[in-house]
Amino acid sequence: MKISKSAQTAARRIFRLCSPEGHLDEQRMRSVIAKIVADKPRDYRGILAGLSRLVRREEEGKRVVVESARFLDPATEQRVRDSLTNQYGQGLNFEFRTNPDLMGGMKIRVGDDVIDGSVAARIKRLETAFQ
């Protein structure tokens, strides 16, 4: 669905109002959405679509995927959680996976950021350096 500029602007403004101190207030967002649905202002569907995209982008930015060659012990998992929380802030959703193709080390994705400290990535960098 194509969203008009005025609907995009309204959605961004509403999103900012529902995100005091940079954190999305879910309760406030729910009440605003209920109010929009009840009142049905001009281009309300576009505003709701724009809000949906902004909320989805916010949630994707808080998703953390940690891949390692083998299972991490709880102490290591906690160190990773603490380190990433210090760097990216509270409210992160962690998912720990194993990926034997990494050979060793970890690959961490936080939203769009990728931190690749795996042995496979180091070998690949060495390989490209010698070409």
Cα separations in angstroms, 1 against 5, 8, 40, 49, 84: 13, 12, 18, 8, 35
Q: 98 pLDDT exceeds 90?
A: yes
* Contacts of 99 by beta carbon, 8 Å cutoff, 6+ apart: 67, 68, 69, 107
55-77 pLDDT per residue, tens: 999 888 889 999 998 999 999 99
Supply the pLDDT for residue 61.
84
DSSP E strands in the chain: the ranges are: 63-68, 93-98, 106-110, 113-116
Per-residue model confidence (pLDDT) at position 3? 87
Grade residue 78 by pLDDT with cuts at 50, 70 and 90.
very high
Mean pLDDT of 25-42: 93
pTM of the model: 0.70
